């Protein structure tokens, strides 16, 4: 073979390698990152789930790896569960929901499975299904946390769906009254104190010794032209239960200012200042 031809062949091979090796290294790096991501999903799923609307290359590769693993062990509940986690991280909520349902069918721990299924429904903005799944797990804390996050202008409609579902599924001791109370807060944010009053009456029936419910029920009575005598009795009961409550002092200052009782407003403003300065023990 002439030397010139050999030289050109060697040069060609060198160029191909120079172009291919970085791509191979990059692909290997992505695969390694995907493997590490899968490991993190197993060890600490809450910290690893990070769908921000557009999945990373590593998240997609991790999902593919998890699905391949599940295909080789179709009866393994843990493999399906991992597909669910990886799919949530890859922003593929429909696959995640199907995987968590399959994991539950195959016998994954009920608490873990339904908690994750609820989180997947939350990602899909399906509040009724999310609350139902969390309720099946026996723990509605994620529902309460999600609803509270939504208590801001522009998001109250979704918040009301979450809290309404809680009133229908939660227990009477805690989650049902919390649902009614926060339903009232959602209506109040939008200025509908008449509707807030209805929900607060429900919360009061279930939990008549809850200071925040008592104060907000009194506030709703004042703002809707209701029974002032009852409102005062509710406030007195709340103050007796928690006399050193900073939140309550702030709310009472606002209530009496709004209805034009400046002397009482000044009294509670002074109390609030004392609580904030540490003159009396705070909440």
Where exactly are the structural domains of the chain?
1-138, 140-241
Q: How far apart are CA 31 and CA 62, in angstroms?
A: 8
Q: How far apart are CA 46 and CA 26, in angstroms?
A: 28
Equal fold, 1-138 vs 140-241: yes
Give residue 156's pLDDT. 97
Site of tokens 């002397």: 263
CATH class of 140-241: mainly alpha
| pTM attached to this predicted model | 0.80
Q: How far apart are CA 130 and CA 26, in angstroms?
A: 39
Give residue 17's pLDDT. 43
Q: How far apart are CA 181 and CA 204, in angstroms?
A: 8
The CATH architecture to which 1-138 belongs is: Alpha Horseshoe (1.25)
Site of tokens 């939660």: 170
Dihedral pair phi/psi, residue 162, rounded to 5°: -60, -50
Answer for the pair 151, 161: CB distance below 8 angstroms, yes or no: no
Torsion angle of alpha carbons 197, 202, 203, 205, nearest 10°? 120
Tens of pLDDT, residue by residue, the chain (283 residues): 455 544 444 444 444 344 443 443 343 344 555 556 566 665 555 545 567 778 888 888 888 989 998 999 889 999 999 999 999 989 999 999 999 999 999 999 999 999 999 999 999 999 999 999 999 999 999 999 999 999 999 999 999 999 999 999 877 789 999 999 999 999 999 999 999 999 999 999 999 999 999 999 999 999 999 999 999 999 999 999 998 889 999 999 999 999 899 999 999 999 999 998 875 443 3
Give residue 107's pLDDT. 96
């Amino acid at each position: 073979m002439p030397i010139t031809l050999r030289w050109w062949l060697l040069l060609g091979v060198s160029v191909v390698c120079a172009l291919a090796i970085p791509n191979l290294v990059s692909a290997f790096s992505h695969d390694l990152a995907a493997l590490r991501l899968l490991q993190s999903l197993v060890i600490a799923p809450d910290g690893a789930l990070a769908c921000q609307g557009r999945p990373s290359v590593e998240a997609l590769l991790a999902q593919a790896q998890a699905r391949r693993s599940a295909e080789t062990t179709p009866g393994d509940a843990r493999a399906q569960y991992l597909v669910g986690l990886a799919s949530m991280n890859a922003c593929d909520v429909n696959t995640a929901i199907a995987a968590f349902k399959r994991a539950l069918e195959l016998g994954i721990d009920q608490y873990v499975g339904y908690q994750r299924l609820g989180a997947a429904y939350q990602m899909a903005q399906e509040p009724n299904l999310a609350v139902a799944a969390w309720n099946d797990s026996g723990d509605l804390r994620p529902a309460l946390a999600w609803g509270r996050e939504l208590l801001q202008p522009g998001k109250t409609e979704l918040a009301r769906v979450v809290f309404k579902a809680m009133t229908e599924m939660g227990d009477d001791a805690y989650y049902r009254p919390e649902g009614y109370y926060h339903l009232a807060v959602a209506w109040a944010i939008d200025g509908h104190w008449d509707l807030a009053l209805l929900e607060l009456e429900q919360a009061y029936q279930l939990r008549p010794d809850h200071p925040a419910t008592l104060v907000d029920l009194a506030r709703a009575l004042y703002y809707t032209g209701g029974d002032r005598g009852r409102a005062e009795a509710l406030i007195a009961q709340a103050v007796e239960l928690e006399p050193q409550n900073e939140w309550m002092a702030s709310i009472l200052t606002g209530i009496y200012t709004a209805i034009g009782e400046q002397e009482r407003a000044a009294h509670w403003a002074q109390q609030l200042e004392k609580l904030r300065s540490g003159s009396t023990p705070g909440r």
